[in-house]
A and B are shown apart, each in its own frame.
Chain A
Amino acid sequence: MTPRDVAVVAFARSGHHEPADGLSEAEMLLPVLHDALDQAGLAPGEADFTCSGSSDYLAGRPFSFTLALDGVGAWPPIAESHVEMDGAWALYEAWVKILTGQAGTALVYAHGKPSSGDLRDVLTRQLDPYYLAPLWPDPACLAALQTRALLDAGLIDEAALLTDEAAPVPSADGHPSGTPHAPGARAATDGAAAVVLAAGATARRMCTRPAWIRGIDHRIESHALGLRDLTDSPSTRLAAERAGAFDAPVDTAELHTADAAQEAVLRRALRLDGTVTVNPSGGTPATDPVMAAGLIRLGEAAARIHRGASDRALAHATSGPCLQQNLVAVLEGEPAGHPGAEPEGART
């Protein structure tokens, strides 16, 4: 349906589990931005559009994202935007911008530095300010509600949950990095991620196997937990439908979850069976940097396509308490032997 084919052509992220002590957001971002731009062969400031995602509340000061712009090379001035959301939604805004024809390439980045404060307290400020936030229910409390609802519904069992939560979680380099915690209580780390998007022939020039975005959609649910069925994720299901996720099987799914209970909810909503490889990046979404974690899921799925390890992948990002808002993207690589040299606009 899309008038232009748009692909993820580059992805970079900062190292796992390194607190960014003493680093500013711009300093944390700079090497990641350069990595992504180098992969795409773009100079700083050369992308037609730049879009980022972050939250002032992590840095503890308003307009924190403006200082990150120092790492982007916004001189001469650039066409640029920012969402106070996970970077996955910045990617969505950039994708729309490319679809309008106003841009052919876009740099998308996100960063989070939760070590600046107490994330468990900070995230309570995200809740209804009149009725819920005054109770300071932290993410662990809300995760417990969701987990209890799933246990009561018989959709997960306690033994599996304990095993999953307590097991050391392998990181990308194969070393165990996880520690046992209560659901939703694993500490997020500092970090940044960046992605380059490009349309048509430009994407083919920048990347030997672009990860074509076949569809993206995102949906929100009511904020009131009492109005929602916490054992289900209708917003994920609807977003997946609209993104075309059910039109053909995927071989890979990168899911942005805080704990095993959320993964169970998503697996059901997305109809993922045993044939689908889930989170092969070895990342631990629960400990990925807040505000970049969703973009990292998209980037990891794309990178797997770049490497030829996946042909059709689903990537998911979430925001808000107990999976309130969800984004689903479907990415595809072309089969080997594809001519891959069609002029831009030939594919519709």
Chain B
Amino acid sequence: MSSEPVAVVGIGQTHHAAARRDVSLAGLVREAAARALEDAALDWSDIEAVVIGKAPDFFEGVMMPELYLADALGAAGKPVLRVHTAGSVGGSTALVAANLVAARVHTTVLTLAFEKQSESNAMWALSLPVPFQQPLLAGAGGFFAPHIRAYIRRTGAPEGIGTLVAHKDRRNALKNPYAHLHEHGLTLEKVRSSPMLWDPVRYSETCPSSDGACAMVLTGRAGAARAPHPPAWLHGGAMRSEPTLFAGKDFVSPRAGRDCAADVYRQAGITDPRREIDVAEMYVPFSWYEPMWLENLGFAAEGEGWKLTESGATALDGDLPVNPSGGVLSTNPIGASGMLRFAEAALQVRGRAGEHQVPGARRALGHAYGGGAQFFSMWLVGAAPPTT
């Protein structure tokens, strides 16, 4: 018995900022959810179940906050699932919600992810005390910078590649009214001369800390037929995990990422991602991760990702735009960052991305990763319903 095709019929996100002092946690999630419902022309009563995700509860200091958020999410009397798969959680949450529709357990599901970093200190929440981690490994950048250096050494990439990515993504964010950072007048030189945080990652090449939420309404064939705007159809989705540390782990191009992409492409019938995918929203929290993921996801051969970035192919007017929304480098409510990638990919194939729309986008990839580059979740969405 084949599963129900899954359609994204509603997408909403908050205006993201360093501190959304105007809203509580409940107000933040409700803002995103209300926009998604409005986009789908549905009411709270049309939602059968809620699947919510966020990164560690320590970020806000609320244990299992979905319990407290049940009222804000209109969930009383409904099922609520709470997903936590580290940084990939926004993507994983959407996939868990999609499965409820695919399995025909529910017909219409609200999925939502959030983070309110201003009520927390993610830098130190991510700096584990000894003996779990060596001291002075401050923040995620301290963990990932050595892997970026390994990439540069392995591929011989010139040092300016990260600067290009940061400049591109921050310029793209100027076209996205919801993005956290709107750096008018940003130049390559300004990125290049910003302070060094974790060699080779400079201040302007790292993601901000944001307050924000993202929500989507997922439904099946009948729901899609009733939707007022074109849906995005799920053509493939997968999650893969591998341990944090082990002998032989390739931090530069983790096998879990490659396997996850291969699974998604197989489901979607993609054999040449570079030609068949029109736009990608990838989880790039540090500039250099764009060329690294281009290789890991099969858009470029091993060692060639930086050349794709350098050629301008990943710019908004290139032939493979990457992160037209401005990406994680411009907006980073950690738990929601993955869902924003998934949602922005869906917006592109729905033709509803506004000023950062890639003309004629038919197939888009949403990508998220987390933990020690060990948790991956991805989906491929299309403007046309799946044929199988």
Contacts and interface: CB of A to CB of B under 8 A. Distances in A.
B63 A74 contact: no
B99 A100 contact: yes
B238 interface: yes
Nearest to A89: B81
Interface stretch (A11-19, A174-182, A319-327): A319-327
B76 A221 contact: yes
B3 A100 contact: yes
A80 B241 contact: yes
B56 interface: yes
A267 interface: no
A220 B75 contact: yes
Interface in B358-376: 371-372, 374-375
Interface string B51-63: 0000111111111
Nearest to A239: B79
Contacts of B2: 101
Contacts of B82: 83-85, 89
Contact of A218 (B63, B79, B243, B255): B79
A207 to B, nearest CB: 23
Interface stretch (A63-71, A107-115, A155-163): A63-71
A105 interface: no
Given A77-B241, A77-B242, A129-B60, A222 B70 contact: yes
Given A125-B62, A130-B24, A224-B71, A81 B239 contact: yes
A236 B132 CA distance: 40
Contacts of B61: 125, 129
Given A57-B57, A96-B99, A85 B242 contact: no
Contacts of A324: 67, 70
A223 B57 contact: no
Give the interface size bracket for A toward B. Answer: 35 or more
Contacts of B78: 219-220
A154 interface: no
Contact of B71 (A70, A125, A222, A235): A222
B92 A81 contact: yes
A66 B372 contact: yes
B79 A217 contact: yes
Contacts of B70: 220-223, 324-325
Nearest first, the 3 closest Cβ-Cβ pairs linking A and B are A62-B56, A77-B256, A99-B103
Interface of A: 3-4, 50, 55-57, 61-63, 65-67, 69-70, 74-85, 89, 92-93, 96-97, 99-102, 122-123, 125-130, 133, 217-224, 227, 234-235, 238, 319-321, 324-325, 345
28 contacts: A62-B57, A63-B371, A66-B375, A67-B132, A67-B244, A69-B241, A70-B243, A78-B242, A79-B238, A80-B239, A82-B84, A82-B85, A83-B82, A84-B82, A89-B82, A93-B99, A99-B103, A99-B105, A100-B99, A125-B61, A127-B68, A219-B79, A220-B70, A223-B68, A223-B70, A235-B77, A319-B67, A324-B67
Interface of B: 1-3, 24-25, 55-65, 67-71, 75-86, 92, 96, 99-100, 102-105, 125-126, 128-129, 132, 238-244, 246, 254-256, 259-260, 263, 371-372, 374-375
